[in-house]
Chain A
Amino acid sequence: NAGVTQTPKFRILKIGQSMTLQCTQDMNHNYMYWYRQDPGMGLKLIYYSVGAGITDKGEVPNGYNVSRSTTEDFPLRLELAAPSQTSVYFCASSYGGDSNQPQHFGDGTRLSIL
């Protein structure tokens, strides 16, 4: 059972570089989410998607972009990495947007911007 798979697990970037964090799920979930986790803070929603071709901003979208060309994949792109984007990033998915559906999380990507 793969569930939600995130790659890479760790990455160090220089300021101004760009990169894509990959997320794929094999549960045929329509809804997918990207969160960031900063020390002492709760998980903050960056972007979410309710299905292929549909994305929307969450609480902290600035500096990020997403796309959803397939049900399985929901990559998160950082175009111009900044030190403030140093964080642990979690991708999640759920069967539907219904509130009684739990979210399933990937193992996270730890990103450092130096």
Chain B
Amino acid sequence: ILNVEQSPQSLHVQEGDSTNFTCSFPSSNFYALHWYRWETAKSPEALFVMTLNGDEKKKGRISATLNTKEGYSYLYIKGSQPEDSATYLCAFIKYTGTASKLTFGTGTRLQVTL
């Protein structure tokens, strides 16, 4: 993996379903991984910042895990609601000793219907 890849590109689930998606990133020189939630016509908002292998973070029904050795992070949404509909972006930071420059994936677009 040379860049940040997210899968699937899009996902359509029904209200109440639980779902998860993947962010893959280069495992060498890992520094941090960010998850952002991006609603249509709004700006991206930070969900999680993860720095340690094995990290697990949780905010309400949304949680994330991190595996830096194999270069992936999972985002889980339990009991999806229509308000969870958004694009979920992950961004990787490679250690360079300089400013926190993020490399973004193209996102997973989630649509939750009633």
The answer to whether A and B belong to the same complex is yes
Q: Does B77 contact A (CB under 8 A)?
A: no
Complexed CA–CA distance, A102 and B32 (Å): 10
How far does the Cβ of A67 sit from chain B's closest Cβ, in whole Å?
17
- The answer to whether A31 and B100 touch across the interface, beta carbons within 8 angstroms, is yes
Interface residues of A in 19-71 (CB under 8 A from B): 31, 35, 40-45, 48, 50, 56, 58
- The answer to whether B107 and A48 touch across the interface, beta carbons within 8 angstroms, is no
- The answer to whether B34 and A97 touch across the interface, beta carbons within 8 angstroms, is no
- The answer to whether B4 and A42 touch across the interface, beta carbons within 8 angstroms, is yes
Main SS of the interface on chain A? loop
Complexed CA–CA distance, A35 and B101 (Å): 11
Q: Identify which of A31, A100, A108 contacts B49 (C-beta below 8 A).
A: A100
- The answer to whether A100 and B98 touch across the interface, beta carbons within 8 angstroms, is no
- The answer to whether A106 and B43 touch across the interface, beta carbons within 8 angstroms, is yes
Complexed CA–CA distance, A42 and B34 (Å): 14
- The answer to whether A90 and B102 touch across the interface, beta carbons within 8 angstroms, is no
- The answer to whether B43 and A94 touch across the interface, beta carbons within 8 angstroms, is no
Residues of B near A104 (CB, < 8 A) are 46
Task: Please give me the residue from chain B that is nearest to A54 by CB atom.
Answer: B99
- The answer to whether A42 and B105 touch across the interface, beta carbons within 8 angstroms, is yes
Q: Does B86 contact A (CB under 8 A)?
A: no
Interface residues of B in 27-46 (CB under 8 A from A): 31-32, 34, 36, 42-46
- The answer to whether B100 and A99 touch across the interface, beta carbons within 8 angstroms, is yes
- The answer to whether B99 and A31 touch across the interface, beta carbons within 8 angstroms, is yes
Chain A residues near B (Cβ < 8 Å): 4, 31, 35, 40-45, 48, 50, 56, 58, 90, 94, 96-108
- A–B complex contacts, Cβ < 8 Å, 28 sampled: A31-B99, A31-B100, A40-B106, A41-B106, A42-B104, A42-B106, A43-B89, A43-B104, A48-B99, A56-B99, A90-B43, A90-B44, A94-B100, A96-B100, A97-B98, A97-B99, A98-B100, A99-B31, A99-B32, A100-B49, A101-B100, A102-B34, A102-B36, A103-B46, A103-B100, A105-B44, A107-B42, A108-B43
